[in-house]
Amino acid sequence: MTLGEIMNIGVIGLGFVGLSISSVLASKNYNVVGIDIDKQKCSDIRNGVLPLFEPDLENTLRIGLKKKLTISNNFSLIKNCDIIFVTVGTPQKSNGAIELSMIKKATTTIGQIIRKSKKNSIIFIKSTVVPGTTQNVILPILEKESGKKVNRDFGVISNPEFLQESNAIRDTKYPHAIVLGGKQSKYMKKAKMFFSKMHPNVPIVITNFQTAEMIKYANNSFLATKISFINQLSNICQNIPGTNIDDIAKIIGLDPRIGKLFLNAGPGYGGSCLPKDINALINFANKIGVNPILLNAVKNTNREQVSNIVSLMKKILGDITSKRITILGTAFKPNTDDIRDSKSIELIKKLLKNKAKIIIHDPKAIENTKKIFGEKILYTKSIADALNKSQCVIIMTHWKQYDTLNNNSIKHMNKKNIIDCRRVLVKKELDAKYYAIGIGKN
């Protein structure tokens, strides 16, 4: 086997990770087959219509489709692939554990296909799975279904993914590190050569399966810890008149031992990964007899953030029944239409329980938000309409559109109360009662 042989690549599961990888690799002239069980989704993608909003993805997909990207729900197309990326979801069960049914199904099918294939394929497991899953669940399925032997007839490598939504294409093209977990073998050598050619100068760490699997959880739980840490501090700062959490974050971030990123205080972390991965790691730790005290605190701190916003609002407005409240931003962060585990959605649910009247604005996530709340809340594409007659506005997501808010924008509010969870307007002189997370009121 030589490096030159890697030309045909399969990607199983076309969520934002699978779509980004397929599009980027195809744009770099590899023959890529992107597979998803959802027929309609495949047909939309073939027509350049994305199931999600992700900056640069549409353009990269278009380039890929013009080159050598095939999108299909026909798994058998992977039989000629030199390497296969598995990027199916591992969603959360109600107890926090991960649901393996999709990855079991995908690897069963892959096994059945490689049974008939003459290729010595390498299967990269990108889906996030708890330590032990590749060794104890995925390998036995692949060997049983293929009738072949791992490391002799095919390779399996745990290859966790660190890309961020809203930066998916940039992160796919320029990852900060590459992790390859598995046995030392000709397949590992070939994988290393493939990635060093794709990403020269990017550190490649070769380790075993369980360490590679754990690295992903370590990464995300550390990020979540940083966020909960700064949120906890911001709650303290809010009660010290004149204190500013951003100045504190900026200064401690200059200490190279701490680092400046992921120290933005806010309503808590959301999205499809951080909350799920913390829960999965807590569940896993408990199962193996370790009490994850710190991770539980990170999770609880995160949960409290939204309750703190509701308490603040009640302090400002008194009873919030029938009060008109504006929410700016429902996406879990800017530049995405993703509302999975969004703190904004959690806040709206709590406010609805208190019988508030909610109107929301979001540049991209209105359609997804409608799928949850239907007619229970109001939606608008205009920030001015969102603020009209409102008794309190809460900035939940830092869309750049909100930077321009000023006294003119709020002039038709019924009561000028602003809760700024992202400190977007902190430097403005506003004719309003202004409360910001992490800023101690004088």
Cβ(23)–Cβ(9) below 8 Å = no
Q: Rule CB under 6 A: is residue 273 a binding residue for ligand UDX?
A: yes
Q: Rule CB under 6 A: is residue 281 a binding residue for ligand UDX?
A: no
Identify which of 34, 57, 55 has the alpha carbon closest to the alpha carbon of residue 46: 34
d(CA 282, CA 95) in angstroms, rounded, equals 10
User: How many angstroms separate the Cα of 98 from the Cα of each of 20, 113, 136, 282?
Assistant: 23, 26, 15, 11
Q: Which is nearer to ligand UDX, 153 or 346 (CB)?
A: 346
Min separation Cβ 124 and ligand UDX, Å? 15
User: How many angstroms separate the Cα of 429 from the Cα of each of 81, 243, 405?
Assistant: 60, 17, 11
Out of 53, 187, 332, 379, the residue judged to bind ligand UDX by CB under 6 A: 332
Q: Rule CB under 6 A: is residue 194 a binding residue for ligand UDX?
A: no
Q: Which is nearer to ligand UDX, 114 or 424 (CB)?
A: 424
Q: Which is nearer to ligand UDX, 22 or 220 (CB)?
A: 220
**How many residues sit close enough to ligand UDX to count as binding (CB under 6 A)?**
20
Q: Which is nearer to ligand UDX, 65 or 88 (CB)?
A: 88
| Residue found by looking up tokens 């594409």 in the block | 381
What tokens were used for 46?
A: 């073939």
Q: Rule CB under 6 A: is residue 134 a binding residue for ligand UDX?
A: no
Min separation Cβ 203 and ligand UDX, Å? 16
Q: Which is nearer to ligand UDX, 223 or 306 (CB)?
A: 223
Among 42, 273, 392, 421, the active-site one is 273
Identify which of 268, 271, 267 has the alpha carbon closest to the alpha carbon of residue 342: 271
DSSP annotation of 248 reads: H
Q: Rule CB under 6 A: is residue 220 a binding residue for ligand UDX?
A: yes
Q: Which is nearer to ligand UDX, 181 or 271 (CB)?
A: 271
Min separation Cβ 173 and ligand UDX, Å? 15
Element (H, E) at 159: none
Q: Rule CB under 6 A: is residue 262 a binding residue for ligand UDX?
A: yes
User: How many angstroms separate the Cα of 343 from the Cα of each of 43, 60, 205?
Assistant: 32, 30, 34
Triad 168, 172, 173: Cα angle to 5°: 120
User: In the window 42-81, what residues touch ligand UDX (CB under 6 A)?
Assistant: none
User: In the window 226-255, what residues touch ligand UDX (CB under 6 A)?
Assistant: 227
Min separation Cβ 46 and ligand UDX, Å? 26
Applying CB under 6 A, the span of 84-92, 103-111, 267-275, 283-291 interacting with ligand UDX comes to: 267-275
Look at the alpha carbons of 295, 298, 304, 306 in this order and tell me if their dihedral is positive or negative.
negative
What tokens were used for 368?
A: 């997804």
Q: Rule CB under 6 A: is residue 13 a binding residue for ligand UDX?
A: no
Q: Rule CB under 6 A: is residue 438 a binding residue for ligand UDX?
A: no
Q: Is 273 a catalytic residue?
A: yes
User: How many angstroms separate the Cα of 351 from the Cα of each of 213, 232, 264, 300, 320?
Assistant: 38, 23, 24, 20, 8
d(CA 109, CA 383) in angstroms, rounded, equals 48
SS3 at position 193? helix
Cβ-closest residue to ligand UDX?
Answer: 273
What tokens were used for 411?
A: 């002039």
Element (H, E) at 408: none
Q: Which is nearer to ligand UDX, 162 or 434 (CB)?
A: 162
User: In the window 145-174, what residues touch ligand UDX (CB under 6 A)?
Assistant: 161-165
Would you please indicate which residues are annotated as catalytic (active-site) residues? 273
- Footprint on this chain of ligand UDX (rule: CB under 6 A): 161-165, 220, 223, 227, 262-264, 266, 269-274, 332-333
